[in-house]
Amino acid sequence: MVSLFSPFSIKSMKLRNRVVFPPIATNYGLRNDRACHYYTERARGGAGLVIIQGTPIELLTSPKWIAGLKPVVNSVHGHGAAIGIQLWMGNELPDGNKVSPSPKPGYREVSAAELKTVAKRFALAARAARDIGFDTINIHGAHGYFLHQFFSPLTNQREDNFGGSLRKRISFPLMCVLAIRAEVGETFPIMYRLSAVEFAPGGIALGDSIFFSRELAEARVDIIDVSAGGQLDGLNITSPDAKQPAGTHANLAAAIKQAVSIPVLAVGKFNNLEICEDALKQGKADLIAVGRQLLADPFWPKKLHEGRQNEVIACKSCNTLCAGNYRKNKSIECVVNKELGREYLRYEK
């Protein structure tokens, strides 16, 4: 029977367990000792896969810039974990033009020709990540960002082949996936993060995401990363607070898993062993994203695997200094882990 500590393999990636540390924005930077030790601590603590936060595709296509991530890749690998990186794009082109799927104040409609260029940049970024040693890439198509905006009827009112019907609204994200697959080959795993629902009137519904997920699988995505929330939602959708039940979005992952034959990653307040094991045993997901709990206690997987549950430092799901700080453009911290973001101080020579 599958458990949280069962190994997992897909294509060229092998994981020692099913604990995934998801991409969490930190304001720590990426190519420095602080970031390196922050990610390494989650590998040292027993996570199977560590995913670096959303990173602009323009940076990843710079050979000089991405070379600075090699120490992080090597360090995480050195502690037994696989490592991925999330490919992200906002609403600004390399030339500074502010664009969106449809016109809005301050943003013009991105052209079809520009979208082809963007898809190519995604592909080149993915190849660069593969070549530097990452085990997978995670395409950020959730939480109101650029790819999500094409999927959502709230932000996509285009009248060309990239807007209108559901099939047309997903055509640009699928174009990016197909470009990436052509660039990285068939053996390199591709993950896609989507918001299964937006919780906003007229926004993305679960049925839309089930259809999209089937199309993503057909385009040879390997893992669907099922999140929730969009541009009009509050903080507590993407980061469920203390009032929300554990495994808040597990049923969203379950609905998509029933519709596709590829693995599914569940996320949303998976902060205790029981809720993780339940999701796996009931077939709701194949992998479990453990985010804020690994901010609170990076050694959570190791402690559980060794039967040291009584030593776990529990996340309070308060969002005060993690998501809350990020929203204020501050470095994230944690009310129960004063060493978060300061791990490197223990390893200074």
Choice among 145, 192, 326, 344 that is catalytic? 145
Active site residue 145: yes
The secondary structure of the chain, three-state, reads: CCCCCCCEEECCEEECCCEEECCCCCCCCCCCHHHHHHHHHHHHCCCCEEEEEEEEHHHHCCHHHHHCCHHHHHHHHHCCCEEEEEEECCCECCCCCEEECCCECCEEECCHHHHHHHHHHHHHHHHHHHHHCCCEEEEEECCCCHHHHHHCCCCCCCCCCCCCCHHHHCHHHHHHHHHHHHHHCCCCCEEEEEECCCCCCCCCCHHHHHHHHHHHHHCCCCEEEEECCCCCCCHHHHCCCCCCCCCCCHHHHHHHHHHCCCCEEECCCCCCHHHHHHHHHCCCCCEEECCHHHHHCCCHHHHHHCCCHHHCCCCCCCCCCCHHHHHCCCCCCCCCCCCCCCHHHHCCC
Active site residues: 145
